[in-house]
Structure 1
Amino acid sequence: MVVNMPYNGSLTAEQFLFYEMRIVSKKYLEGTTIDEIIEYIKRDNLFQYPTEREVPRLARACQRRIVALSNDKLVYELANASVEVAKQINLYAMMRYNRLVREFMTDLIGEKYRQQDFSYTRKDINVFFSHLQEQNDDVAAWSEQTVRKLKQVLTKCLIETEMLDSVRDTTLNPIFISEELESGIRDNIDLTALAAFNCFR
């Protein structure tokens, strides 16, 4: 499980990748290999990147997140559901794959939802990273630039899933978890993830 994985700063490059995840998940469901998926994306420039250089790495990152979901129903919804539902599932896939995202969403955002404390300030995310740096040598070794970028990416995840309205916003929106995601999380017996989506039933 993700809690035993080392912390990983790759999020600075990988980010939310929603439209990339939609494309890769559709091909993944067809049983296409990752190398074939990469060629398919390159052939029609489906990621619409200025060059092909980033395509293999980011397509592989998408595939790893999809595999981390461990749930074909969630992968299907990620590929086919409405944008709002699929974005929640994409964030959950990030939580399954990346320990930093997991702890940010459960320990900081989930706790705020639990306590009905909807404030979200720069201080909150700074304190979250300070605690991590005190507890973990790998995180402590990250450069200021890396940490700053990670804070930006994590905040953008909140905006993408409508938990936050903008970068300058300081109030979390009390969102509703989609039925599809709640069902998938329960099927995965991953109940600690529910708090990140304001679900305590």
Structure 2
Amino acid sequence: MPERSKYSCTLTGASFLFFELKQVVLLKEQGLQDSEIREKVRAENLFGYKVKSSIKRSLPSVLRRINALDDTLRQMVIEKSLETGKIINLYAIMKTDRLFFEFMNEVVRDKFERNDYHLDRKDVNVFITAKAEQDETVALWTEKTVDRLKQAYVKVLFDAGIVRDRKTGELNRILMDEELKRHLVHIGDIAYVKAMGEWVA
């Protein structure tokens, strides 16, 4: 489970960023250090952003996620299917964002366990409201920040393939690669596998 880090709302400015993650994984595999990666991404605009200043917002999150992955998972991002890469990215987001992990574990996992394939705005509202009552950091967030965070959560789930339709909130079970599932269980991250709605014997 993620260390007891503070709750954060960084997903409002970071979101899924799978294309960016893949670019940086390739640089990591070439042996580049984080500082060299920052320089190369900015100098060559490897993310292809129209506004280069956007790199400053997204790159720290991408690096945090990549540094949460071991060598095996980084290799899988490069070698496995697009779907598997996206699931690894979702796992990395959960590893680096305590609040999002808790959302997956307490809301999404619960939905799948009850065979309820519909995520309502109310579900996200209830979750955030409950956290605001328990935690001062969340309680201090503005309504605008909370709204953007809710949108970011749904977008991440949509990009990961868990939300099939953003308008209706229809949910979709992911099909996790068996090798990936075995590896995550082996390294002690069974909680993340379950949070994504996967059944583990």
Report the TM-score, using the length of structure 1 for normalisation.
Answer: 0.92
Query: Please, which moves more after superposition, 92-101 or 177-186?
Result: 177-186
Q: Distance in 2 between matches of 1:48 and 1:128?
A: 35
| 1:129 CA displacement | 0.7
Which letter maps to 1:65? Answer: R
TM superposition outliers: structure 1 runs of 4+ over 3 Å? none
Kindly indicate whether the alpha-carbon contact (under 8 Å) linking 1:25 and 1:75 is maintained by their aligned counterparts in 2. Answer: yes
RMSD: 1.6
Give a deviation string over 1:97-129, Cα, whole Å, max 9, x none. Answer: 000111111111011112222221111111111
Q: Distance in 1 between matches of 2:86 and 2:23?
A: 13
Name the counterpart of 1:7: 7
Name the counterpart of 2:107: 108
Q: Distance in 1 between matches of 2:61 and 2:173?
A: 30
Kindly indicate whether the alpha-carbon contact (under 8 Å) linking 1:164 and 1:172 is maintained by their aligned counterparts in 2. Answer: yes
Residue correspondence of structure 1 range 125-164 to structure 2 within 5 A: 125-164=124-163
Q: Distance in 2 between matches of 1:172 and 1:25?
A: 29
Q: Distance in 2 between matches of 1:181 and 1:100?
A: 23
Q: Distance in 2 between matches of 1:5 and 1:51?
A: 31
Name the counterpart of 1:173: 172
Consecutive unaligned residues of structure 1, counting only runs of 5 or more, are none
Q: 1:160 to 1:47 in 2, by over 3 A?
A: same
Q: Distance in 2 between matches of 1:23 and 1:67?
A: 14
Question: How many percent identity over aligned positions?
Answer: 34
Name the counterpart of 1:33: 33
Name the counterpart of 1:20: 20
Query: Please, which moves more after superposition, 84-93 or 166-175?
Result: 166-175
Consecutive unaligned residues of structure 2, counting only runs of 5 or more, are none
Q: Distance in 1 between matches of 2:57 and 2:172?
A: 33
SS, match of residue 165 in structure 1: strand
Report the TM-score, using the length of structure 2 for normalisation.
Answer: 0.92
